[in-house]
């Protein structure tokens, strides 16, 4: 017993789960698979309303933006915004249910798997689920003829990377939350403002200079700057910088989420 306790990593050590998180990912997938169709359709509803209502409705009153129609401009923002929402909801509500309400994590921790394996499985699962949501939106965009370039296929890894970043951020909030109500602060103070200033609905450079400068550091802004040119058949400017920013956010946020969750569950 003493050896096992001594072998436990420091609460502040960075997670090194290897591939033993795969059973956690598979468990979540098998549970989700029973409700896969309603889940995908639910994730499609919001972005489709934005695209049809704003894209074709409001877009009919607006001039072209950077040489493309407003609905084409909005399509790219919709893809990454849908990805953000799917990853965030999974890392908040679903993960919190498994951790605090259903006690699923407690059951898993009574197996040879560790908390690092659980958290990594949750992270990759949330990103995978958000990828499915993003792919569904991409198929709709292609069906509507809003993109025809093969470069649009590169949006797929962008969507997954975006999902990783927001899943990691969501796990931080999950570790801190005393109840479901706590998540409203995160949406009100972070997610919604970011949705409005990151270039999803209108060019971010139309914002006041100070707001635009702050917005350019936000993860959703990096995702938009990658996805929009790709859907328009162009190579994004500063590709490496945007990818590095999303990877850095995902890595640091996951490290913080791991420390906070260890303090909550292993103290």
Quick check: is 1 in a domain? no
Quick check: is 2 in a domain? no
Beta carbons of 141 and 72 less than 8 angstroms apart = no
Beta carbons of 37 and 192 less than 8 angstroms apart = no
Between helix 115-143 and helix 70-89 the angle, nearest 10°, is 160
Quick check: is 13 in a domain? no
Q: Measure the N-to-C terminal CA separation of the chain; round to a whole number of Å.
A: 17
Quick check: is 10 in a domain? no
Work out the number of other CB atoms within 10 angstroms of the CB of residue 144: 15
pTM score: 0.90
Using CA atoms, how far apart are residues 171 and 140, in angstroms rounded to an integer? 30
Bridge partner list, 65? 68
Quick check: is 75 in a domain? yes
pLDDT of 34 reads: 83
Quick check: is 8 in a domain? no
Please report, rounded to a whole number, the percentage of residues in the chain having pLDDT higher than 90: 60
Using CA atoms, how far apart are residues 219 and 247, in angstroms rounded to an integer? 10
Beta carbons of 10 and 106 less than 8 angstroms apart = no
Residues in the chain: 267
Q: Residue 151's Cα: distance from chain center in Å?
A: 21
- Mean pLDDT for each consecutive 10-residue tract of the chain (267 residues)? 47 79 94 81 72 70 75 87 93 95 93 93 96 88 83 93 97 95 95 93 88 93 94 91 96 95 87
Bridge partner list, 68? 65
Number of domains present in the structure of the chain: 1
Domain around 92: 18-265
Quick check: is 58 in a domain? yes
Quick check: is 5 in a domain? no
pLDDT of 74 reads: 86
CA atoms within 13 A of residue 184's CA, in its CB half-sphere? 3
């Amino acid at each position: 017993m003493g050896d096992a306790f001594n072998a436990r990593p420091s609460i502040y050590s960075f997670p090194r789960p290897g591939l033993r998180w795969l059973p956690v990912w598979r468990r979540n997938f098998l549970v989700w698979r029973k409700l896969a169709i309603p889940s995908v359709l639910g994730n499609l509803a919001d972005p489709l309303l934005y695209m049809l209502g704003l894209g074709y409705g409001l877009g009919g009153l607006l001039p072209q933006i950077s040489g493309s129609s407003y609905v084409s401009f909005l399509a790219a923002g919709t893809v990454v915004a849908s990805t953000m929402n799917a990853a965030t909801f999974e890392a908040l509500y679903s993960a919190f249910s498994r951790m605090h309400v259903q006690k699923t994590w407690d059951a898993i921790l009574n197996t040879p798997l560790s908390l690092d394996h659980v958290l990594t499985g949750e992270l990759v699962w949330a990103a995978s689920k958000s990828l499915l949501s993003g792919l569904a939106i991409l198929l709709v965009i292609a069906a509507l003829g809003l993109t025809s370039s093969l470069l649009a296929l590169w949006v797929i890894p962008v969507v997954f990377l975006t999902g990783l970043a927001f899943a990691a951020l969501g796990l931080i909030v999950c570790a801190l939350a005393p109840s479901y109500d706590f998540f409203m602060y995160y949406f009100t103070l972070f997610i919604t403002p970011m949705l409005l200033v990151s270039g999803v609905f209108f060019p971010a450079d139309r914002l006041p200079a100070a707001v635009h400068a702050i917005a350019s550091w936000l993860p959703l802004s990096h995702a938009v700057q990658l996805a929009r040119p790709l859907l328009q058949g162009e190579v994004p400017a500063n590709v490496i910088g945007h990818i590095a920013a999303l990877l850095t956010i995902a890595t640091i946020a996951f490290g913080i989420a791991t420390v906070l969750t260890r303090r909550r569950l292993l103290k």
